[in-house]
């Protein structure tokens, strides 16, 4: 079976904070996905086509373009860093859609850094369906300046949008990591769904704590970490 690839031009690109880009591209005909899914992306430039990164769609599938919200990691010296130098009109190569993260019912969404991106499209979809109430987002970052889409997430979730910072202490946000005590303090119901996305080490720790609080494997929605 031939590999599915699509070449699309960048229509718009901007930075929404110090290291996160908003990129809009053309949408291939018939290209569809479920909110929460992603694709592998390569940059269509000499010397760059052999390396790919995984990026989640952050807009809804019925729109006439694609949107990606991409955090640049200069220390990784990879696709995300090179994305920062791209311009409108440059071409990206998209592969087929994949991903296990999809909405199954009300619950707690736990994200670390760029791991919030699958949840953005899910929340937009729930707003459209008038079904956002009862969902909570816990967003972990290093510093306050790392929080992106803050205003729109606050508008969608209100008091159910919780932030925790590992490297900076502020009056507005919790400080530390998403450990057992944090979960017990901020979550009343452990019988609901838990959606996890973030650095693998962090997600494994969170999952271990959730299991300790009685959450079962069937309640957890995440990509395969193995």
pLDDT of residue 192: 98
pLDDT > 60? residue 2: no
158 CB-near residues (< 8 Å, 6+ apart):
none
- Inform me whether the pLDDT recorded for 76 exceeds 70: no
How much is the pLDDT for 127? 98
Question: Do the Cβ atoms of 91 and 13 come closer than 8 Å?
Answer: no
With beta carbons less than 8 A apart as the criterion, state whether 67 and 59 touch: yes
More confident of the two residues 76 and 71 = 71
Burial class (CB in 10 A: 0-12, 13-18, 19+), 31: middle
Mean pLDDT of 194-203: 96
161-165 and 174-175: which strand pairing? parallel
Tokens of 191: 């019988």
Mean pLDDT value across residues 193-212: 96
Are 118 and 140 in contact, with CB atoms under 8 Å apart?
no
Q: Give the per-residue pLDDT at 211.
A: 97
At 140-176, the pLDDT tens digits run 999 999 999 999 999 999 999 999 999 999 999 999 9
Instruction: Give 3-state DSSP helix, strand, coil % of the chain, rounded to 5.
Output: 25, 30, 45
Q: In the structure, what pLDDT confidence band is assigned to residue 198 with cuts at 50, 70 and 90?
A: very high
User: Is pLDDT above 70 for 225?
Assistant: no
Q: Does residue 222 contact residue 101 with C-beta atoms inside 8 Å?
A: yes
Render pLDDT for 96-125 as a digit per residue (tens, 0 to 9): 999 999 999 999 999 999 999 999 999 999
* Res. 216: pLDDT tops 80: yes
Give the pLDDT mean for 57-85: 87
Query: 129, 126, 105: which is closest to 191 by C-alpha?
Result: 105
- pLDDT tens by residue, 37-50: 999 999 999 999 99
- What is the model's pLDDT at position 55? 95
User: For 60-79, what is the mean pLDDT?
Assistant: 86
**pLDDT for res 39:** 96
Q: Is the pLDDT of residue 1 over 50?
A: no
| pLDDT given for residue 159 in this prediction | 96
Rg of the chain over Cα atoms, rounded to whole angstroms, equals: 18
Confidence band of 223 (pLDDT split at 50, 70, 90): confident
Helices (H), the chain: 79-83, 117-128, 150-157, 180-186, 200-212
């Amino acid at each position: 079976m031939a590999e599915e690839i699509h070449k699309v031009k960048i229509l718009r690109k901007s930075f929404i904070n110090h290291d996160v880009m908003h990129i809009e591209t053309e949408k291939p005909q018939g290209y569809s996905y479920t909110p929460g899914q992603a694709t592998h992306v390569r940059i269509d430039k000499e010397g760059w086509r052999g390396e790919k990164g995984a990026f989640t769609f952050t807009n809804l599938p019925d729109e006439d373009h694609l949107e990606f919200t991409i955090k640049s990691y200069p220390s990784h010296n990879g696709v995300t860093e090179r994305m920062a130098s791209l311009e409108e009109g440059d071409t990206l190569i998209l592969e087929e859609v994949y991903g296990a993260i999809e909405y199954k019912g009300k619950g707690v969404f736990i994200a670390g850094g760029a791991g919030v991106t699958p949840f953005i499209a899910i929340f937009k979809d729930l707003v459209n369906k008038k079904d956002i109430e009862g969902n909570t987002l816990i967003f972990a970052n290093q510093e306050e300046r790392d929080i992106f889409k803050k205003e729109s997430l606050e508008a969608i979730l209100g008091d159910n949008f919780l932030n925790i910072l590992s490297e900076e202490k502020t009056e507005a946000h919790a400080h530390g990591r998403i450990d057992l005590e944090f979960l017990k303090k901020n979550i009343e119901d452990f019988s609901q769904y838990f959606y996890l996305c973030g650095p693998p080490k962090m997600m494994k720790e969170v999952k271990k704590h959730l299991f300790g609080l009685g959450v079962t494997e069937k309640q957890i929605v995440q990509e395969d970490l193995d």
